[in-house]
Amino acid sequence: MPKIRYQGTHYDCTEHQSVLDVLLANQLAIPSSCRSGQCQTCLMQAISGKPPAAAQQGLKDTLKTQNYFLACSCIPQEDMEITLPDASDLRMKAIVKHIEKLSNEVVSICLQSDVPIAYRPGQFINLFRDENTARSYSLASLPDQDDCMQLHVRKVPGGRMTGWLHEEIACGTQVEISQAAGTCFYAPGNMEQPMLLIGTGTGLAPLYGIARDALSHGHKGEIRLFHGSMNRDGLYLHGALQALATEFANFRYFPCISNEAVNDPLITSGHVLDIAMQQHGNLSGWRVYLCGNPDMVKAARKKTFLGGAAMNDIYSDAFIPAQA
């Protein structure tokens, strides 16, 4: 079995153990969250030894060529010497500029970084509370139109990061963030292609960014945004989305409530995925974006694919919670 060397000490790997497993088992402090290769908070760098391809999936080419890899997805195939990335290379300082309550559970947080970061609406950044606590948040803003990076953060009961974000930070608080990552964003081109966007909860954050981005690029095809929530309060940005639908003839907004009586003709009762699929049985030729609850995203990937959308036209971000 290969060995890994970290901070001058060798550690033995057992079969199927990831680098993250090995380091955590040895009580070393390494940031991590989803433990499934999605969030990139566990980014590390190999000084020697080649990270396997699976450990570099989803990384930018510039990071790949510098032998960065995801510790949670790295089952070493050979001896490796590894290090945590130099924080000053990959992390930036940002200031909280503005906090706004969007619903009882969701706040919008606007951040401004010292050095402007390049991002596409719908990508996510990792926000660090301290050296080892980082969580991913999607970008709802447009870099060329909005002054700040806007996040939508839903409060999770007992949540380590969201408790801090909802209760402790204020305008002027300084935070650390990563570069933007992820592939769930609008790529200009194929301007007539119809687009279906389905999100639950703060899955609206990336979708709101993607829809506005597509519209500001002059996308011509239909854009249909389905937003699902358990209750009326969760349908945040309701007014803004209705206004967007009035402004752009090719944009339509379908709010859905699954767990509460509905007495508003503009809101549909039921689960957002069922409702979207009822209206869009044939998705052949469509571009699809799916964000939010991981179970919803997984089911939706399958349903939209079976409905005819090409695998390459399905983009998604499952908001996988941090593992304990």
Partner 1 sequence: MNQNLYHKLGGEAAVNAAVDIFYRKVLSDDRISEFFDDVDMESQAAKQKAFLTMAFGGPNNYNGMDMRRGHAHLVKRGLNDSHFDAVVENLAATLKELNVGGDLISEVAALCETTRNDVLGK
Q: How far is the CB of 246 from ligand FAD (least distance, A)?
A: 26
Binding residues for partner 1, rule CB under 8 A, total: 6
**Please, which of residues 158-187 interact with ligand FAD by CB under 6 A?**
158-162
Tokens of 111: 């951040």
φ, ψ at 161 (rounded to 5°): -85, -45
Task: Choose which of 177, 205, 210, 211 interacts with ligand FAD (CB under 6 A).
Answer: 205
Angle at 253 between CA 209 and CA 110, to 5 degrees: 30
User: Which residues contact residue 308 at a Cβ distance below 8 angstroms, ignoring those fewer than 6 apart?
Assistant: 282, 283, 284, 285, 286
**Chosen from partner 1, ligand FES, ligand FAD, none, partner binding at 305 (C-beta under 5 to 8 Å by type):** partner 1
Residue 205 binds: one of partner 1, ligand FAD, ligand FES, none (C-beta under 5 to 8 A by kind): ligand FAD
- Considering only residues 11 to 50 of the shown chain, the ones binding ligand FES according to CB under 6 A are 32-35, 37-42
Distance CA 109, CA 152 (A): 6
- Answer with the entry of ligand FES, ligand FAD, partner 1, none that 311 interacts with (C-beta below 5 to 8 A by kind): partner 1
Interface with partner 1, residue 310, by CB under 8 A:
yes
Laid out side by side, the sheet with 43-48 consists of 9-12, 3-6, 80-83, 43-48, 68-70
Give the C-alpha separation, 36 to 12, whole Å: 22
Say if residues 54 and 73 touch (Cβ distance below 8 Å): yes
Q: Which stretch binds ligand FAD (CB under 6 A): 4-12, 147-155, 189-197, 280-288?
A: 147-155
Identified binder of partner 1 from the candidate list 98, 220, 306, 321, rule CB under 8 A? 306
Q: Which of residues 199-228 bind partner 1 (CB under 8 A)?
A: none
Binding to ligand FES in span 53-72, by CB under 6 A: 70, 72
Out of 32, 38, 178, 268, point to the residue binding ligand FAD (CB under 6 A). Answer: 38
Residue with Cβ nearer ligand FES (41 or 293): 41
- Choose, by CB under 6 A, the member of 90, 156, 267, 299 that binds ligand FAD: 156
Which listed option, ligand FES, partner 1, ligand FAD, none, makes contact with residue 84 (CB within 5 to 8 Å by class)?
A: none
Asked if 305 interacts with partner 1 (CB under 8 A), we say yes
Amino acid letter, 258: S
- Looking at 157-165, 198-206, 211-219, 300-308, which segment touches partner 1 (CB under 8 A)? 300-308
**59 counts as binding ligand FAD under rule CB under 6 A:** no
Of 98, 217, 220, 302, the one binding partner 1 by CB under 8 A = 302
Q: Which residues bind ligand FAD (CB under 6 A)?
A: 34, 38-39, 124, 135-138, 151-154, 156, 158-162, 202, 205, 317, 319-322
Residues near partner 1 (CB under 8 A): 301-302, 305-306, 310-311
Could you list the residues that contact ligand FES (CB under 6 A)? 32-35, 37-42, 70, 72
